Amino acid sequence: MLGRFILDYLHITIEALQVSGGLLLLLVALALVWVFLRFAGAIRRVLHNSGTVLLTRVAGMLLAAIAVQMLADGALAFLRQV
Q: Model confidence over 17-72: pLDDT tens digits?
A: 666 666 777 888 999 999 999 999 999 999 999 999 999 999 999 999 999 999 99
> CA Rg, the chain, in Å?
18
* Residue ranges making up the domain that contains 53: 39-82
Are 7 and 17 within 8 A, CB to CB?
yes
- The answer on 28 and 6 residing in a single domain is yes
> pTM to 2 decimals?
0.61
Number of domains forming the structure of the chain: 2
The whole-angstrom separation of Cα 5 and Cα 8 is: 5
Residues 31 and 48 in one domain: no
Same domain for 30 and 69: no
* Same structural domain, 27 and 47: no
